[in-house]
Every structure is written in C-alpha cells, then in structure tokens.
Amino acid sequence: LLVLFLVLTLVACGNKQEGEKKSEPIVIKFSHVVAETTPKGQAALKFKELAEQKTGGKVKVEVYPSSQLFGDKEELEALIANNVQFIAPSVTKLVGLNPQFQIVDIPFLFKSEEAALKFYQGPEGQKLLKSLEDKGIIGLAWWPNGAKHFTNSKRPLRRPEDFKGLKFRTQSGGVLEEQFKLLGAGSQTIPFGEVYTALQNKTVDGQENTFNNIDTQKYAEVQKYLTVSGHGRLDYVVLTNKTFWDSLPEDIKKALEEALAEATEYEIKLSTELNQKSMENLKKSGKLEFYYLTPQDREAFIKVFEPLYKKYEPIIGKEIMDAARNAE
C-alpha cells in the first residue's frame, strides 16, 4: 500500500510540473537606451500592454529602458545571442551590419517628416527592414522619432565655418564622421548612455539629436546653443532574433504582429507630439540659445556636403538615395 501511495504521489507531482510548464509564459525581454518618457520608451510599454493582452497572458514582455540591461553596442550582440528578444536601436547603429541604413544620416536628404515616413513604408524602406535576416535578425517595424539638430557649448552654429575646431559626439558610422570632417570639426563615437557625462566633462563640445532626446537627457544643463537644422534623422527599427521569432506558435506570432502594428501607430503620433513639446520646453527653459537655419545657411551646408553625397551614393545605393530624396 505504501508503495502504491508513493507511486501515485510521484505521478501527481509529475503531472503538476508538466501543467506548470505549459502555463509558463513566453518571456520577451525588450531593451532600449532612452528614457521611458520618450516616443520609443512609451511605445515599448504600449507594445507590452497590447502583447500581453492579445496573447491572453501567454507572452510576458519585460521592458528595460535607459541602457539598464544593455547599452548601444551590447544590445545588438545580445539580440544576436538571443539574450534579449526585442530591441529598437537608432537606425544609424546598424551601420556595421548594413551600411545602407546610413540613409538616415545623409544630411538634408528627406524633405519632411511625412517624407521619411513614406520612405519607410515604401518598397525601399521595406527592403531595408528585411535586410538583416541572413544575420539572424528580423526587422519588424520602423519607429520614426524625428529630425536631428546640433547643440554645443562654445558658440552659435549658423554657417559651416562655425563648426571649425569643435568636437562632436556621433552615434556611429562613416557618414556622421565625414559630415563633421567636411565642416572642419572632429568627432567621436560615444554610447548614448555616456553622452551627458561626455558633454559635461568636455570630452566633446557638442552633439546632434532630436528635440525629445535633448530634452529628456537634460543636455541643456551642459550645452549653450541649439541650431534648429533638421539636417539628419534619428529613427528606429524594431528588431527581433530570427530563431526566437521562428520558434513562436503561429497564433502568438499573429497576436504580437497586431500588437506591434498598434504600438507603431501610437509611436508615430507620439513622436511628433513629444518632439514638439520638447522643443517648447527647451525654449521655455531659457538655458539654450536657439538659432534657426535660413534657406541660405542650408544651401551653404549642402554645398559643403557635396563630396559626402558623391561618396555615399554607391555605398547606400542610388535607388535608396533617390527614393529618400523624392519621397514627399
């Protein structure tokens, strides 16, 4: 009788464990480098809410903001190793995997916010999104943030010659390095999480970013001048690990795709709103002196950047450059 009791207990325990295993949710770690209050930070949280709701709790999304889990460089390596399942890096940071992503950095290329969105949703943008599959990465969505503007601590930047001798932080890649070189300035690639300190310690004099990143990172505390240039873009791609994605059951994948589509719509609206709000905050703070490029200033910059357009057209591809240039 004792043996029978032991056998029954063991079987019951086994069944219980099996049952527990089945009900364990699939965990998605979603890591990013910006504050929670940014378009990317808010959209990641929206995705979490919708993904958990649409899968009835079968998926749990853990969002790690502000480089808490991984910084710029580590997050890509972590994604490839499946130590994190979702990231949404700035497009520029993919230059090592595909230099064509530097399309966002080509100065004064996109006509407007809408033009960038059209490009991403069009055939060339969609091709780019799919271009990392042989590296084990699936591009799921574009999350635009906005145009970049220059800040620095030394002097107002109105014309190309004002940049001479200054040093700027860059995200990564040859286009940004070349951009500053052509302006007679130096540059250094610094991970996002270390930029405030680099500006504070004067490792670099300036940087380029969206209004919202400038605002939420409190760069006005360590910078004096802001040039509203809108010269390049800072947008994101939502990436997942291919092995992880392919392993998901079809119904889960579908629910996650729906959640992401809704989170993307939310992000697009929010990015415009939050950048506008941040611009107003920065102005109101009175800590930064604003300068708006005139059409003549803009022409002067475009002329200086001519060698850059020539050098990078074959690297990025004429079709991609034309699609970006002509999008409205």
- The contact set with ligand LMR (CB under 6 A) reads 33-34, 90, 171, 192, 209, 213, 234
Q: Name the minimum Å distance from CB 106 to ligand LMR.
A: 16
* 171 vs 179 by CB, closer to ligand LMR: 171
* 59 vs 270 by CB, closer to ligand LMR: 270
Q: Name the minimum Å distance from CB 222 to ligand LMR.
A: 15
Q: Name the minimum Å distance from CB 213 to ligand LMR.
A: 5
What is the number of other CB atoms lying within 10 angstroms of the CB of residue 161?
A: 11
* 142 vs 192 by CB, closer to ligand LMR: 192
- Name 290's bridge partners: 226
Rounded alpha-carbon distances, angstroms, from residue 104 to 6, 91, 109, 202, 246: 66, 7, 8, 27, 29
Q: Name the minimum Å distance from CB 118 to ligand LMR.
A: 22
Residues in the chain: 328
* 48 vs 54 by CB, closer to ligand LMR: 48
Q: Which of 47, 254, 282, 252 is nearest to 143 (CA)?
A: 47
* 33 vs 117 by CB, closer to ligand LMR: 33
- Which residue's C-beta sits nearest to ligand LMR? 90
Residue/partner pairs of 248-256 with CB below 8 Å, 24 or more apart: 248/26, 252/26, 252/55, 252/58, 252/59, 255/51, 255/54, 255/55, 255/59, 256/51, 256/54, 256/55, 256/59
* 196 vs 245 by CB, closer to ligand LMR: 196
Instruction: Name the phi and psi angles at 217, rounded to 5.
Output: -90, 0
Give start and end residues of each alpha helix (H) in the chain.
2-23, 39-54, 72-80, 113-121, 123-129, 174-182, 195-200, 211-216, 242-247, 250-285, 295-304, 306-316, 318-326
Q: Name the minimum Å distance from CB 23 to ligand LMR.
A: 35
Q: Name the minimum Å distance from CB 144 to ligand LMR.
A: 11
Q: Name the minimum Å distance from CB 314 to ligand LMR.
A: 26
* 234 vs 327 by CB, closer to ligand LMR: 234
Instruction: Name the phi and psi angles at 75, rounded to 5.
Output: -65, -35
Residue with tokens 């997942």: 240
